[in-house]
Every structure is written in C-alpha cells, then in structure tokens.
Amino acid sequence: MKTIEGKVVILGAQGVGKTMVICRYITKMFNRRISPTIGAAFYTCNINLERGKVKLQIWDTAGQERFRSMAPMYYRNANVALLVFDLTKHSSFNEIKSWVMELKRNVDKTMVLVLVGNKSDLVSQRTVDAEEASQYATSIGASYHETSAVCDDGGVESVFVAAAAGLYDLSEENHEHLNSLRINDSIRSILNSDDQPASPSSEDCLADRSIAHGIHEKPHMCC
C-alpha cells in the first residue's frame, strides 16, 4: 500500500477562517483565541484512505495584504491549493478569483484545487450562494465544500479528505507537468480494519518547524 506525501497551501483573504478550519480538523475543537497568522504557519497531518495513507504538509498563509508578496514562496511546488473564502463576504469570494489567476500565471504544474466556503453557520448573513460557488468551482476544475469551524457537520473533514484523495490521484498519473510527490510503497496495511473511515492518523505527529523566513509557529496538536 502506498504512502503519499504532498504539499498543501491554503490561500484566502484575511479573516475568512483559514487557520480555524485547520485547527478544527486537527483538534476537533473550535478555538476563538487563535491569533492571526504572521507570514505563514506549518502543520502536518496524516490521513488514512482506503487506497493508502496520505501525509499533508500544510502551509497556512497570512491573509493580510502586506504578506501577499510572500505567497509565491508557499504555493510554488505545491500539489494542492485550498482556496478559502467567507460565505458572508462576497468580496472574499471575488479575491479567490484573483488567487486562481495568480496560480495560473505562476504555477505550470498540475495542482489539486479545493474551493472552501467557510462560516456556513452564519446563514442569515450569507452573501454567496452555493450555486454560484459550485459553478465557479466547476469552471476551475475544483471541488467545492462548505464548512463551519464553529459547528462542524462534516464539511471540514470533507475538505482534507478531498485534498488527500486528489493527491493520491495525482500520484497515479504519469505526466511531465506533475509536481514531485513523495511516494512510498508498503506491503503493511496502515488501517486497523477495512471499515475504518478516512480520518487523521495518530502516527508520526510532528511538531511545527520553521523552515522559511516569516513563519509563525503554532502550537501543534496531534492529528
């Protein structure tokens, strides 16, 4: 059974909840006290799929405009881009379109795109409807997911499982424009049973490590 390791970059405007979505998935809890990301933060997470194991190296980028120029450091050589917007702020949805245009200009490798509409719990304040977002996702070849870090109903997990599944699909392609993935074959099953759902693994949990200028280290909890 293969183990795939790939790079994930999370892009989106300030305040859309990028870090909260990650922490909700990793910790299974909502934390209002998370401070804004400075530069970028790094996380790792292992996900068990039926087909194999996927290790995500997640770069959470800062949404502030003053850090925008640093973004290419993180999306270059990335295999997956999570494009997060706030369902209550249409301007954040429009900003995703500019991120996609930037990726198309600067990334010549195949990437998995996952569009994420966050804050789905704020129904009365919603300004981006599901059909509009879904149609846009289809136009850029992305999957679309709606999430709430406050009261998650499975949407957060679907985002990371989609990223992992997309990485696994990339690993089975033989394409000259494919970004490098680390692929390890193993005859040992990493699942405890055939019925185990896709979920974070308790194996190989790593502490955050600063490996580029401007990275803000986050307290890491095992995923």
In one letter, which amino acid is 177? Answer: H
CB atoms within 10 A of CB 72: 12
pTM above 0.85, yes or no: no
Decide: 156 and 147 in contact? Cβ < 8 Å: yes
The residues, ordered by sequence, that sit 6+ positions from 60 with a Cβ below 8 Å of its Cβ are 10, 18, 19, 22, 37, 40, 41, 42, 43, 218
pLDDT in tens, the chain (223 residues): 788 899 999 999 988 999 899 889 988 877 676 666 656 678 889 999 998 899 999 988 875 665 566 777 778 889 999 999 999 999 999 999 999 999 999 888 889 999 999 999 999 999 999 999 999 999 999 999 999 988 878 899 999 999 999 999 988 875 555 556 677 765 333 333 343 434 444 333 333 433 333 333 333 333 4
Which domains does the chain show, CATH number per domain? 2-200 (3.40.50.300)
Distance CA 37, CA 144 (A): 24
The residues, ordered by sequence, that sit 6+ positions from 118 with a Cβ below 8 Å of its Cβ are 16, 17, 18, 20, 21, 84, 85, 86, 87, 146, 147, 148, 149
Q: In this predicted structure, what is the pLDDT of residue 36?
A: 62
- Determine the length of the chain: 223
- Scanning the chain, the segments in alpha helix (DSSP H) are 18-27, 71-75, 90-106, 130-139, 155-171
Q: In this predicted structure, what is the pLDDT of residue 195?
A: 39
Q: In this predicted structure, what is the pLDDT of residue 201?
A: 43
Q: In this predicted structure, what is the pLDDT of residue 184?
A: 72
152-156 contacts, C-beta under 8 A, 24 or more apart: 152/24, 152/30, 155/120, 156/21, 156/24, 156/25
Across the strands, what pairs with 44? 57
